[in-house]
Amino acid sequence: MADVQYGHFVAGQAVAGTSGRFGDIFNPSLGEVQAQVAMATAAELDHAVQAAQTAQPAWAALNPQRRARVMFKFKSLLEDNMDEMAKLLSEQHGKVIADSKGDIQRGLEVIEFACGIPHLLKGEYTEGAGPGIDIYSMRQPLGVVAGITPFNFPAMIPMWMFGVAIACGNTFVLKPSEKDPGVPIRLGELFMEAGAPEGVLNVVNGDKEAVDAILVHPDIKAVSFVGSSAIAQYVYATGTASGKRVQAMGGAKNHGIVLPDADMDQTVQDIIGAAYGSAGERCMALSVAVCVGDKTADALIERLLPEIDALRVGIATDPEAHYGPVITAAHREKISGYIQMSVDEGAKLIVDGRGFSLQGYEDGFFIGPSLLDNVTPEMQSYKDEIFGPVLQIMRTQTVEQAMNLASNHQYGNGVAIFTRNGQAAREFAQRVNVGMVGINVPIPVPVAYHSFGGWKRSAFGDVNQHGPEGIRFYTKVKTVTQRWPAGVVTDQSFVIPTMQ
């Protein structure tokens, strides 16, 4: 058994797991087990919920400025501990240090947004809605809420969730991925150091048993999830059946539409980073390039090849590496299987990354970049999310055909169009059936003060994450109609449903 063991973080302190079940945490660069993580029981999850429930009334009663001050302090502590956090993230996830810092930074931006909670929670007011009657609304917290987060962004996605939720006056139970729990635990510790009361942010590690306990717990009022579509659908169905608000973000197959007039030099650089960055383990990775016209496809491939050849795959701490290993050996084999599936289905394999091995780190979970041409819509390897450093090239003859590929795919997370034609880009953005659109922007993830969310099987639920949508998700509206009779002369009385 590994020397390092992660338990849980409940009511402001580390808590050892009691289930007797543990999962392995690998160092993907070395291919070695570096730690173990406890798998929570339903009873352990309930302990965290009770801690959150105990803390919630006083936290909600704290005025928004004081909650914002905790957020400001938390932001400062994260910035002070950025190097330590990025190192820990890279050791457990495998992404290079620059990507780990980006992971933390994008989460920090949501914390910055949450620092504005005194303004964001302001309601509406109408004076004189009737004789001596005023109406106003207020946004109030739900109570205890929970988040279930994936391995690929162990800092950003938890902060997307708990930053807004806690600022609104809720308390939070986080169930991070069991593959890289170190950073989420550290976030809990830093939040306490920032001045949050015990129980405001709790971290419970675990697997399906913990997830199911969250989904049916009567005291958890809302659940936010990011992961695969099959599990997102399960989370949404189970959570809503238990009377909870649920937002469940699923998989993706993001298309990049390349028009003949695109700035090809810039487009190539954009696609290289979007397809292969972070080993393709991003729900917003650009995994399909749809070229309008064979000349466009041939030109794109010709320019991609030297850039792919120049990509450096290395250990997570290599400052020269463009990307590191994938999360586990099993995931590497899954990616390899999709490459072979694509070939078997008739795609042309131009670059094969399956044979990649890093000298001195032969046991690491590395896979090189792969490029496939002549991919068609009926291929299963196109229909599925590969979630690795694999770029598929598709060819169409018209922009309409290219747009239909993105619009008709089962996933609808993100799409990008590369063109110099403003009219074509504007029409594309209006008509394409996808939730987030980039125009000459390869990964169109909105900034923190907008909201993130896809369509179709990329998202279950009606409310997106962070930004204004996050405020709406984590609060409920109360509307007050008031009249003060003293001094008001009126011959009207008010009854429902008529007024006499």
pLDDT at position 284 is 95
- The reply to whether 283 belongs to the active site is yes
| Tens-level pLDDT at each residue, the chain (500 residues) | 467 899 999 999 999 999 999 999 999 999 999 999 999 999 999 999 999 999 999 999 999 999 999 999 999 999 999 999 999 999 999 999 999 999 999 999 999 999 999 999 999 999 999 999 999 999 999 999 999 999 999 999 999 999 999 999 999 999 999 999 999 999 999 999 999 999 999 999 999 999 999 999 999 999 999 999 999 999 999 999 999 999 999 999 999 999 999 999 999 999 999 999 999 999 999 999 999 999 999 999 999 999 999 999 999 999 999 999 999 999 999 999 999 999 999 999 999 999 999 999 999 999 999 999 999 999 999 999 999 999 999 999 999 999 999 999 999 999 999 999 999 999 999 999 999 999 999 999 999 999 999 999 999 999 999 999 999 999 999 999 999 987 555 556 656 665 55
Helix (H, G, I), strand (E, B) or coil at 269: helix
Longest dimension (CA), the chain: 90
pLDDT at position 486 is 75
Chain centroid to Cα 334, Å, comes to: 22
User: One-letter amino acid identity for 154?
Assistant: P
pLDDT at position 278 is 96
Separation CA 205–CA 7 (nearest Å): 7
Separation CA 386–CA 275 (nearest Å): 11
Residues whose CB falls within 8 Å of the CB of residue 190, separated by 6 or more in sequence, listed in order? 74, 77, 78, 81
Single out the catalytic residue among 115, 168, 283, 291. 283
pLDDT at position 4 is 86
pLDDT at position 440 is 97
Task: Characterize the bridge pairing of strands 32-38 and 5-6.
Answer: parallel
Separation CA 17–CA 21 (nearest Å): 8
Domains of the chain, first to last: 5-250+458-479 (3.40.605.10), 254-439 (3.40.309.10)
List the beta bridge partners of residue 133. 130, 483
Could you say which DSSP state residue 219 is in? T
DSSP assignment string, 326-363: -S-HHHHHHHHHHHHHHHHTT-EEEE--TT---TT-TT
pLDDT at position 492 is 60
Chain centroid to Cα 353, Å, comes to: 27
Q: Considering only CA atoms, which of 134, 141, 64 is closest in space to residue 479? A: 134
Q: Give Cα separations from 307 to 269, 270, 317, 494 (angstroms).
A: 8, 11, 22, 73
pLDDT at position 497 is 62
CB 304 within 8 A of CB 296: no
Separation CA 86–CA 97 (nearest Å): 6
Q: Considering only CA atoms, which of 143, 95, 141 is closest in space to residue 120? A: 141
Could you say which DSSP state residue 278 is in? G
